[in-house]
Amino acid sequence: MQRYHDTSADPLPLKSSHLDAERERIEQATAEFLAKGGRIERVGYQMKDHQPWVINPKRTPVYSHLFQRPDPIPQAQPTPEPETVLEMVPVPAVLPAPARPQAKRRAADVPAAQLAARLMVQAALGASPAVAAKAVGITEKDARQVARDFRITFKRQR
């Protein structure tokens, strides 16, 4: 058995006897149709003879409102402006500064030893590194780094 089929010896489908018979039948039916007075229309590139089909946006109800000219705005009569009276308002020389609430110290401002002490308390209470970091106000990554630096062991991990 051959692995691949050799197509060079195969008969071409255009020269088969079955297709020749079908071609003759179609030619005979066409000749009979024309003999009875039938007409064959040319089909193909018929649309090129005509103008292309285009939607006119001015006539469609969807876009027609966009092309309407707005009604002219009636000119309003100018009204006389009232006279303004300027009054002198005393301004204090120094404005009191608004009281600012005490800002919470950021974890970056807190010394590492103090962070370690806070983490030790959380670890002694049984918190995981993530919960301890949230309680202290730092990220879990920073909490784990401080715990490594100060040899703090947590009872629970994640």
Q: Domains in the chain: how many in total?
A: 1
| In a domain? residue 137 | yes
Residue 131 lies in a domain: yes
- At 144 the pLDDT is 94
Q: How confident is the model at residue 102 (pLDDT cuts 50, 70, 90)?
A: low
- Is residue 133 within 8 A of residue 142, CB to CB? The reply is yes
Q: Is residue 118 one of the residues assigned to a domain? A: yes
Instruction: Look up the domain containing 129 and give its range.
Output: 112-149
What is the DSSP-derived secondary structure letter of residue 152? -
Check pLDDT > 80 for residue 98.
no
Considering just the CA atoms, what is the radius of gyration of the chain in Å? 47
Per-residue buried b or exposed e for 37-64, using 16+ beta carbons within 10 Å of the residue's own CB: eeeeeeeeeeeeeeeeeeeeeeeeeeee
Question: In this model, does residue 158 exceed pLDDT 80?
Answer: no
**pLDDT tens-digit readout, 35-71:** 998 888 776 665 565 666 677 777 777 777 777 877 7
Residue 83 is assigned to a structural domain of this protein: no
Q: Do 117 and 124 touch, CB atoms closer than 8 A? A: no
Of 119, 137, 120, 131, nearest in space to 156 by CA: 131
Q: Which of 105, 156, 124 has the alpha carbon at shortest distance from 140? A: 156
Is there a domain that residue 10 lies in? no
Statement: residue 148 has pLDDT above 90: yes
In a domain, 73, yes or no: no
**Distance of alpha carbon 35 from alpha carbon 153, whole angstroms:** 104
Residue 130 belongs to a domain: yes
Residue matched to tokens 């301890």:
132
Residue 116 lies in a domain: yes
Rounded CA separation 152/44 (Å) = 85
